[in-house]
Structure 1
Amino acid sequence: MSQKNTEARRSARDRMQEERAAQEAKARRMRQFGIIGTVLAVLVVAVVVGVLVMNHKSSSYSATDAPKGTVGTNNLVIPVGADAAPSTLTVYEDPRCPACGEFETSFHGTVNKLLSEGRIKVQYHVVSFIDRHDQGSGSKNAANALACAQNIGKFHNFHDVIYANQPDETDDAWADKGKLITLAKQVPGLDTPAFESCVNGNSFGSWVTAVQTDFDKSGFSSTPTILLNGTSAYPTFKNEQISEANLVKWVDAANKGKTPAVLTPASAAALASPTAGNTKP
């Protein structure tokens, strides 16, 4: 690898670490604000209760409200890859999260290769807390659009398109659902009337809220949170810094003596790369 490429990868890792540190600082601030908010909430408890009662129907969630093919408790997880793959990469991401964008830019090729070879499966938790911190609706809209794509078997391709065209965190571009529908044109077979109706109608809004609630209870406070077989792999795994080469090495070590999974035609098709390119300005 050239010195230039090495420095570029190091720079990307540095940006991811800096962004993660910034998110953790923001999370600490928000927890402090939460203490103040709790005191204020006591003063207006009657109003809050009234709002909760009025919104109970719209905020309720059951596993039957989830997109097709989701797994885990209450169907909050989107699985990608062969079920029989010997290792599991767990990924918590927010569509507006810039550190998640850095992770996907640096690692999506390696992750996709490991998936296509049956060496790992990935379990995605699509969270949306940046809307709450930075205001807006782009995270929730994008998470719902990803759920709409999952519902028709196009999640993985659309996921890659979303992160390849991610706006700046402070630009709530995906508040405009039309931009998400336009991006869907990059995934063959995704841009259909049913998909557009799902995006515009926020069909999986209750699922998006439930995924975020689950993240709030998880003990994790920032994204991306990456686990390899349940152990944190971002930014380090067993005292080693994450990199593409190290991720492959870690997976190989975890899989030693185990047989890679054979992908079904449907699983292989779901991993096929979209044909269109990056349209990010």
Structure 2
Amino acid sequence: MDLGPGRRSASPRFVLPDVSEKNRDGKRTARERLAAEREKQKTAERRRRVLIVGASVVGVLGLAAGIGALAANASKDGVDEASGPVVGPSGAQGKNGLVIPVGKDGAKATLTVWEDFRCPACKSFEDTYRSTIHRLTAAGKLKVEYRLATLIDGNMGGSGSKNAANAAACAQDAGKFPAYHDVLYKNQPPETEDAFAKDAKLVELAKKVDGLDTPAFRRCVEDGTHNGWAVKSNEAFQKGDFGGTPTVLLDGKNIYQDQSLTPAKLKQMVEAKNGG
């Protein structure tokens, strides 16, 4: 349309959409979705860790409970933690079966002898009093209660005291304790040599006792069947508050600490208890 000189008609105007604003909105929405997704992942990860830790705690507690139950059962069943089951030898007597008896139960005098097979003073006692003790037990006038300790193992190191005590208990199972007991002392190695720690040595000495070297005896020695028992016997000695080995009691009275004791005096004391 002609609007006159100097005037032109106005051209139609088109408004374009604000693309930059839409882009900003789209980017913001994407960031929000990404942040939300990350937060979901973090939450899931925290939940997973909680479950793992919880399961681990339950597992540890269950394991501890199991170990505790095993320990309790072991204690009930008579198991020494260091040396295995506490298996006493055949015919053992006294509290906890720690006494190996020799002689008649009806004897009127009882001699209690605490010994360690590695102990030189014990060997000296045995060498001096062995024949007298044998005669009195054979006559039915004396019962001897042998109780074994493992002091030298603790003082000098090694395991000969315990292993020899186990072997002596194995000999008791075979009904050969007195003879094997004497053989061990007659063949006692020097205190500083732990020869009795070797099973082969203990089995070799069994050959000196008629009928003792059998597969059952060897198995008992090599398996340490009575090791736990030997440990318990030594614990009983420690609790007794004795001065050392040998400790020799006649009807409960310590007689070996009396330096005037002789084989003749021991015989006299036992005879007196038998009324003659």
TM-score, length of structure 2 as denominator length:
0.69
Partner of 2:244: 222
- State whether structure 2 residue 172 is matched by structure 1 residue 146: no
**Alignment partners' CA distance in 2, 1:74 and 1:249:** 32
Is the contact made by 1:147 and 1:155 (CA closer than 8 Å) also made in structure 2? yes
| Pairing partner for 2:268 from 246, 249, 258 | 249
Q: Distance in 1 between matches of 2:84 and 2:157?
A: 26
AA in 1 matched with 2:109: S
Q: Which amino acid aligns with 1:98?
A: P
Match for 1:250: what amino acid? M
Instruction: Flag the 1:176–1:248 CA change in 2: closer, same or farther, 3 A.
Output: same
2: CA distance between counterparts of 1:231 and 1:99? 19
Paired position in structure 1 for 2:255? 233
Greater Rg, structure 1 or structure 2?
Answer: 2
Say whether the 8 Å CA contact 1:91–1:123 is kept in structure 2: yes
Residue 221 of structure 1: how far off its partner (Å): 3.0
Between 129-138 and 247-256, report the one with greater CA deviation. 247-256
Partner residue of 1:59? Answer: 80
SS at structure 2 position matched to 1:241: coil
**What amino acid is aligned across from residue 124 of structure 2 in structure 1?**
E
Q: Distance in 2 between matches of 1:205 and 1:248?
A: 34
Whether the 8 Å CA contact 1:91–1:224 is kept in 2: the answer is yes
Aligned pair count?
A: 202
Q: Name the Cα RMSD after superposition.
A: 2.2
SS in 2 for 1:84: coil
- Deviation string for 1:107-157 (max 9, x for gaps)? 100000001011100000011121011100110110000010011111111
CA distance in 2, matches of 1:105, 1:179: 21
Q: Which amino acid aligns with 2:263?
A: E
Quote how far apart the aligned CAs of 1:64 are: 7.2
SS in 1 for 2:110: strand
Report the counterpart of residue 184 of structure 1 in structure 2: 206
Q: For 1:157-200, what per-residue CA distance to the aligned partner results, in whole angstroms no more than 9, with x for missing partners?
A: 10011111111111111111101100000111110011001101
- Structure 2: distance between partners of 1:63 and 1:124: 21
Report the alpha carbon displacement of residue 63 of structure 1 after superposing the two structures with TM.
9.8
Deviation for aligned residue 1:90: 0.4
Match of 1:162 in 2: 184
TM-score (norm 1): 0.68
Paired residue type of 1:221: G
Which residues of structure 2 form unaligned runs of 5+?
A: 1-66
Aligned to 1:30: none
When residues 212 and 108 of structure 1 are mapped into structure 2, their CA distance, relative to the original with a 3 A threshold, is same
Q: Give the AA of the match of 1:214.
A: A
- 1:206 aligned to which of 228, 232, 245: 228
Percent identity, please: 47
- 1:83 is the counterpart of 2:102: no
Does structure 2 retain, via aligned residues, the 8 Å contact 1:137–1:175?
yes
> Which secondary structure does the structure 2 equivalent of 1:108 belong to?
helix
**Alignment partner of 1:65: what SS?**
coil
Task: Decide which of 118, 121, 141 is 1:96's aligned counterpart.
Answer: 118
Aligned-partner SS, 2:101: strand
What is the distance in 1 between the residues matched to 2:246 and 2:137?
19
Question: Which whole-Å CA distance do the structure 1 matches of 2:86 and 2:123 have between them?
Answer: 30
Distance (Å, rounded) in 1 between the aligned partners of 2:121 and 2:164: 16
SS in structure 2 at match of 1:171: coil
SS of residue matched to 1:249: helix
Q: Structure 1 residues 142 and 246 mapped into 2: Cα distance closer, same or farther (>3 Å)?
A: same
CA-CA distance at 1:65 after TM superposition:
1.8
